[in-house]
Amino acid sequence: MSRYNMLFLSFMLLFTAACSSDVFLVHNGNIPSAEKIAQVSVGQTKEEVADILGTPSSVANFDDNTWIYMSSTVKKVAFFRPKIMDRDILTIRFDKQGKVAKIDQLNQKDGKTIDIDTEQTEVEEEDVGFFKKYFGGVGAYMPIGPSKEH
């Protein structure tokens, strides 16, 4: 065997040994058990729900009356794209008086795949000259503001 073949074989052996076949299951979130969820009913207050289920994973951005409990399990193998194995979501909606109005449970099968739109919106730009580009903002930034003394 030639020296180059031996070097190539050693390199390939090291390269394949460096590749990991480890599988990692990453669990994110903490959804309450089915028994605890069954204890929550329409008409209960936020305090009662918090005592039973604990603090929610998230509260809806524009609506403080929607609590979200979620959990997911993701399988990761080396450098491959992670795969979602399991996903559960519990949403509890409260009315204006702070009492449970609706309870929804969703899982991975209820999810929808959304395609990303690749179209771009064109923006008209003005042709900026050298001096305006590099010196146009000189004097515009005043961190200390104008003096009010006369």
CATH of domain 9-110: 3.30.1450
Residue with token string 């395609």: 115
**Is pLDDT at 127 greater than 60 in this prediction?**
yes
pLDDT at 44: 94
Amino acid identity of 88? D
- Sorted by where each begins, the domain ranges of the chain are 9-110
> How do residues 19-31 score in pLDDT, each as one tens digit?
656 778 888 888 8
pLDDT at 12: 77
Average pLDDT over residues 132-136: 78
> How do residues 29-87 score in pLDDT, each as one tens digit?
888 998 999 999 999 999 999 999 998 988 888 888 999 999 999 998 877 888 888 88
**Is pLDDT at 136 greater than 60 in this prediction?**
yes
pLDDT at 53: 92
pLDDT at 150: 53
